[in-house]
Structure 1
Amino acid sequence: MHLIPVLNIGGLQIDIATFIAITVSVLVTFIVARLAVRNLSVENPSKMQNFLEWVVEFVHNTIASTMPLERVKPFLKLGITLIMFIFISNLLGLPFGIVTETSTVNETLNITQADLDKHGGHAEIAWWKSPTADLSVTAGLALIVVVMVHYLGLKLNRKHYLKHYFEPFPIFFPLNVIKELSKPLTLALRLYANIFAGEVLIATILMLGWTGIPFLIAWQGFSIFVGAIQAFLFTILTMVYISQATVHNEDH
């Protein structure tokens, strides 16, 4: 069992492994996007440009499946950012792990003597993992999405947005509130559980040594598929929630 280094700053606990990984994920997402649009060409598009055009078309069609076509454009950038960032974050923990050993107490990183005693006097510290394997990251993403959904609902569709809490009958108001509260919970837990479980399984396979190499290769390939599916699900559910909040019932 690896220890996760935690930096305490003024009572705020920062998971260093997650902080490093999420910073790298942001940089990779930005760099990929910039490389794809660096030398745009109609006659001779680069492979990166073709890739990003495919992503744009895919996300456009995904959003169009949740709301009227004329409403898609304002949310296209959001959809592209979400699906690329989450997909890259899902994959970051797959290629390698950065683990060091320590036998000394480090209060700054929240490594106590009790932790060392549990691991026979020395412990392994994990400095790298997928950002989305941390519930605080997926919960933060889900919270941002839900706050944005409510804001857009009140700004663009206030009358119908408020009315839906009392449909089909006013007595359903408590149930509709519970439904809205469950949205960030399900968004966060679905993404976190799938990515975290995948990383736990990879760690278990690694314990088999060289005999686990075939299983590791197979699971790595499957994990890419899972990462893509989870990025797609988070993005399309976000668009469904936005559509429900901003589109009049008669427009569906």
Structure 2
Amino acid sequence: MHESPIIDIGGFRLDLSVVIMLAVTSLIVFVIARLSVRKLSVESPSGLQNFMEWAVEFIRNTIASTMPMKYGKAFVSLGMTLIIFIFVGNILGLPFAVITEHDKPVEAIATANSAVFEELKAEGEEHPHVGLLWWKSPTADLGVTFGLALVVFVIVHYLGLTRNRKHYLKHYFHPYWFFLPLNIIETIAKPATLGMRLFANIFAGEILISTIIKAGFYGIPLLVVWQGFSVFIGAIQAFLFTILTMVYIAQAAVHEEH
């Protein structure tokens, strides 16, 4: 069975695989950003420069579909960061998985798997065997996707309170004052569904890939097809997260009526 390598720091259970994959994702995004602005040229732009120019224009058009660009131009960088970071994170787990096999708890991460070994022994297994999964899509972890959704939640409501306070507060009592509880529930549900949607799609994809791999040689054709489809799903989920973020920003900070 595969478990996550978890350590206990000050009472907090920290998943090392998530920390590692978040660092890898951030590094890849940083490298892409740096390479795309190296040796900028108007006459003979590089392929990466052309791609990034297309990506920026795509994000601008996406934002323009949710709010006037006189407001939306300030969020182009946010949109680019979100869509690239989430897309890279979505597809990192596709090529391969890094798993270490263990027949006894690892001292360095004893809190991660000692309980698992004890549970397996209680179930009657004389020689428990546990695999620790170190490489996976960070967005296949609910904590990561909810963390991203929380960042969006804070940004949206900060902008609403600082840029459009009167109408932002008024919308909680729309269309009538007794709708306040429902509007609060809606406000909380938006980031919750944002994080859950991203997690569910990526996690389900990785579970299916691991299931196909168990089929061995006969699963290779299906694995190739599914991995290609997973790249498409990863791109769609990155786009949905980004455009919904812009919609929420527009509703809170730009639109006067909801």
Q: TM-score range by the shorter chain?
A: over 0.9
Name the structure 1 match of 2:35.
35
Name the structure 2 match of 1:170.
177
Name the structure 2 match of 1:90.
90
Q: In the comparison of the two structures, how many residue pairs are matched? A: 251
Give distance in 2, aligned partners of 1:114 and 1:160. Answer: 56
Q: Does 1:147 align with 2:151?
A: no
Q: Which segment drifts farther, 113-122 or 156-165?
A: 113-122
Q: Which segment drifts farther, 76-85 or 9-18?
A: 9-18
Cα displacement (A) at 1:49: 0.3
Name the structure 1 match of 2:204.
197
Distance 1:217 1:155, change over 3 A: same
Name the structure 2 match of 1:228.
235
Q: TM-score, normalised by structure 2?
A: 0.94
Name the structure 2 match of 1:247.
254
Letter in 1 for 2:233: V
Give distance in 2, aligned partners of 1:238 and 1:138. Answer: 13
Give distance in 2, aligned partners of 1:78 and 1:239. Answer: 9
Letter in 2 for 1:34: R
Conserved in 2, the CA contact under 8 Å of 1:116 and 1:123?
no
Letter in 2 for 1:183: K
Give distance in 2, aligned partners of 1:202 and 1:121. Answer: 25
Q: Which segment drifts farther, 121-130 or 71-80?
A: 121-130
Cα displacement (A) at 1:115: 4.9
Question: Any runs of at least 4 consecutive aligned residues in structure 1 with deviations exceeding 4 A, and if so which?
Answer: none
Letter in 2 for 1:166: F
Cα displacement (A) at 1:46: 0.5
Conserved in 2, the CA contact under 8 Å of 1:8 and 1:108?
no
Name the structure 1 match of 2:75.
75
Cα displacement (A) at 1:68: 1.0
Letter in 2 for 1:21: M
Name the structure 2 match of 1:111.
113
Q: Tell me the SS of whatever aligns to 1:185.
A: helix
Cα displacement (A) at 1:116: 5.2
**Cα RMSD for the two superposed structures:** 1.4
Query: Which stretches in structure 1 are left out of the alignment for 5+ residues?
Result: none
Name the structure 1 match of 2:133.
126
Distance 1:30 1:115, change over 3 A: farther
Conserved in 2, the CA contact under 8 Å of 1:18 and 1:131?
yes
Cα displacement (A) at 1:31: 0.3
Q: TM-score, normalised by structure 1?
A: 0.96
Q: Tell me the SS of whatever aligns to 1:95.
A: coil
Conserved in 2, the CA contact under 8 Å of 1:103 and 1:116?
no
Query: Which stretches in structure 2 are left out of the alignment for 5+ residues?
Result: none
